[in-house]
């Protein structure tokens, strides 16, 4: 694998078995989805436990930038958090504040949470949270340089479906196209010494996006992979 590429995937089913399998297959990270996924936050701890002892990082996408949920999933042992629809440096700073203990942030401090092995490991030894700000609108693209400049934001992560939907809503009035948005985000991340990420649906698009400057790349989701396999099997059986 290219050393500059950190390969991930989306886990939408909430299945600990699927999360474990993804890790055993050698993915660098998986995204546990609380925004559009099929299960509630109650499923997250089991999925994170399934990653223990592997080299796979568990990132949780919260549905909204609620400080209590950001702190809770980090206490459960998530390596990082992804927050959707970030459109300003102010919003990005709020994410950092929610994810960090004082003096950097306002996250509650506890020594007996899973992230501290329930008190067996010093709380001070907890890894720094790896934070993804999702760029999913034209407003987010316009502010991406300011978002990237926020200390504590690690990745500008493009949400292709939302961003293309936003541009499509504007139609001919959109000032820039999708390709230019990708270039803008990747350039802003690079200038700030941060990483750029994106979700792709086809592994054939990996090289092109890596060449654009994207390094945190997720390919497809568990639901999509299963859907393609089963519809293919059904089609083959009925021809």
- Catalytically annotated residues: 36
- Tracing tokens 């270039």 back to the chain, one arrives at 183
Distance CA 196, CA 173 (A): 26
Measured on CA atoms in the order 214, 146, 101, 82, is the torsion positive or negative? negative
Burial class (CB in 10 A: 0-12, 13-18, 19+), 164: middle
Distance CA 153, CA 148 (A): 6
- Cα–Cα distances in Å, from 128 out to 74, 77, 104, 192, 232? 10, 11, 11, 19, 42
Q: How many residues does the chain have?
A: 239
Does an H or E element contain 200, and which?
A: strand 195-200
Peptide bond into 228 cis (omega under 30): no
Distance CA 128, CA 220 (A): 27
CB atoms within 10 A of CB 65: 18
Judged by DSSP in three states, 104 sits in coil
């Amino acid at each position: 694998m290219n050393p500059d590429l950190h390969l991930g995937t989306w886990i939408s089913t909430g299945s600990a078995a699927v999360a474990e399998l993804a890790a055993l297959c050698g993915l660098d990270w998986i995204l546990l989805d609380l925004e559009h996924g099929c299960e509630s936050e109650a499923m997250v701890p089991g999925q994170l436990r399934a990653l223990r002892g592997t080299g796979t990082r568990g990132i949780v996408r919260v549905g909204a930038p609620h400080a209590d949920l950001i702190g809770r999933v980090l206490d459960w042992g998530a390596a990082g958090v992804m927050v959707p629809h970030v459109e300003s440096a102010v919003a990005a700073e709020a994410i950092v504040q929610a994810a960090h203990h004082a003096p950097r942030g306002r996250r509650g401090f506890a020594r007996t949470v899973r992230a501290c092995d329930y008190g067996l490991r010093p709380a001070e030894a907890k890894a720094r949270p790896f934070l993804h700000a999702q760029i999913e609108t034209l407003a987010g693209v316009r502010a991406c340089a300011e978002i990237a400049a926020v200390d504590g934001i690690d990745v500008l992560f493009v949400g292709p479906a939302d961003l293309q939907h936003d541009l499509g809503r504007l139609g001919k009035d959109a000032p820039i196209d999708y390709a230019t948005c990708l270039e803008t985000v990747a350039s802003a991340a690079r200038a700030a010494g941060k990483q750029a990420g994106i979700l792709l649906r086809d592994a054939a698009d990996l090289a092109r996006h890596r060449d654009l400057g994207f390094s945190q790349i997720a390919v497809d989701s568990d639901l999509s992979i299963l859907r393609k396999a089963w519809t293919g099997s059904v089609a083959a059986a009925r021809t």
